[in-house]
Amino acid sequence: MAIKPGLGRKPSNKNPPILSHEFVIQNHADIISCVAMVFVVGLMNESTASFASAFISLHHNVSGEDPSREQPYGKAYTYVAGIKDYCSIFFYTLTCIIMHAIIQEFVLDKISKKLHLSKFKLARFNESGQLVAFYLLSFVWGAHVVLREGYLGQVAQLWEGFPSHPMSFLHKFYFIIQLAYYLHMLPELYFQKIRTREEQQPKIVHSISGFSLIVIAYTLSFQRLALVLLTLHYFSELLSHVFQLIGVFDREERLARLRVVNSACFFLVRFATSVIGVLTLYYGIGGLRSLLALGGLIALQGYLVFSFITEQLRAKREAKREAKREAKLLAAQSSKKAVKSPKDKVKRKKESDLPEADQPTPSPVKQKLK
């Protein structure tokens, strides 16, 4: 039996209409989960298994064997880049959108509700929280592959045998996830209701530039070099966004030392990236393609350094302006308290000149109220 609303009350329409914009935004994680499950269920049917595996499994393996009697442990598969990788990128883009929603709902939203942050700090908290999770995973994953493949112990592996650089499973899967994450940033603009041009532009540039640069390195067989450089870059970005999260909770004055650490780490990473790039692309590989890649890498480092210095100068100017505003407000408040109206002064002076018996006494009603 349906419960009718009380008299004078209108039935609440909290649930938006199906397939409306608000409905899709509120339930986008559930909708995309159902789409992803279609591919997973397709693996269970023989007629659709080949189609579904093109989106879920990794392809373009060039070596490797399954376990057999002669080789009980088999032989590890190695992979190269190929056209079928974009099918995997599409599927794992859906996965990134789902994981983004899970982190937002079950981690960031629960923390932000307890903190009661302002609108500006809440936006910074959500953005940095998402990026910290991604950068931490990418840095740990990339460092694990670098140590496992021995790129630090034998730096010559970065250019030996180029362009024949087959990738292990974790190495290739790392790039698939990287491309999927940068691609998922574009639909997130719609799901997060980011409508202003000032907020959209840096996120779109971040998404397209990150996706394009990784695709170029991935398809031109610079996967080993890109893995090392991305791991270094993500370490610097991880520290930067961790300090931004600390800045949401702490005062700006206490972040001076942390900013020095962040700046030192940023410039060290830029220097190490340039050195590794010159060593690999100029002295190791050589050739026109490598020189063009080296020019693009050096230009990118210069742009990042310029943007970093510009951002630091802008932040200092804003901090000075904010300090001046606070000083003016404090001065205005103190002057209002110190300066009294001349009428009150004259009135009080006249009352003080009268004898004590003739001075006005407060009414009994006011005394009771006090």
Question: 113-138, pLDDT tens digit by residue?
Answer: 888 888 888 888 999 999 999 999 99
Q: Cβ contacts of residue 128 below 8 Å, gap of 6+? A: 241, 242, 244, 245, 248
Could you tell me the two tokens for 53? 């595996």
The CB-side HSE value for 208 (13 A sphere, CA atoms) comes to 6
Q: Are the CB atoms for 305 and 267 separated by under 8 Å?
A: yes
Q: Tell me how far apart the alpha carbons of residues 237 and 137 are, in angstroms, rounded to a whole number.
A: 12
Helix axes 256-277, 288-338, angle to 10 degrees: 170
Question: 93-109, pLDDT tens digit by residue?
Answer: 999 999 999 999 999 99
pLDDT value of position 71: 66
Three-state DSSP class for residue 3: coil
pLDDT value of position 368: 46
Q: Tell me how far apart the alpha carbons of residues 225 and 216 are, in angstroms, rounded to a whole number.
A: 12
- Residue 342 has φ and ψ, to the nearest 5°, of -65, -30
Q: Tell me how far apart the alpha carbons of residues 81 and 222 are, in angstroms, rounded to a whole number.
A: 11
pLDDT value of position 135: 97
Digits of tens for pLDDT over the chain (370 positions)? 444 444 444 444 577 888 788 888 999 999 999 999 999 999 998 899 999 999 999 999 888 766 666 666 667 889 999 999 999 999 999 999 999 999 999 999 999 888 888 888 888 899 999 999 999 999 999 999 999 999 988 899 999 989 899 999 999 999 999 999 999 999 999 999 888 888 899 999 999 999 999 999 999 999 999 999 999 999 999 999 998 888 877 655 566 677 888 899 999 999 999 999 999 999 999 889 999 999 999 999 999 999 999 988 887 787 778 777 777 877 777 777 665 555 555 455 555 555 555 555 555 544 444 4
Considering the entire predicted model, what is its pTM? 0.82
pLDDT value of position 244: 87
pLDDT value of position 303: 95
Q: Which helix (H) or strand (E) holds 350?
A: helix 342-353
Q: Are the CB atoms for 177 and 92 separated by under 8 Å?
A: yes
For residue 163, say if its preceding peptide bond is cis, omega within 30 degrees of 0. Answer: yes
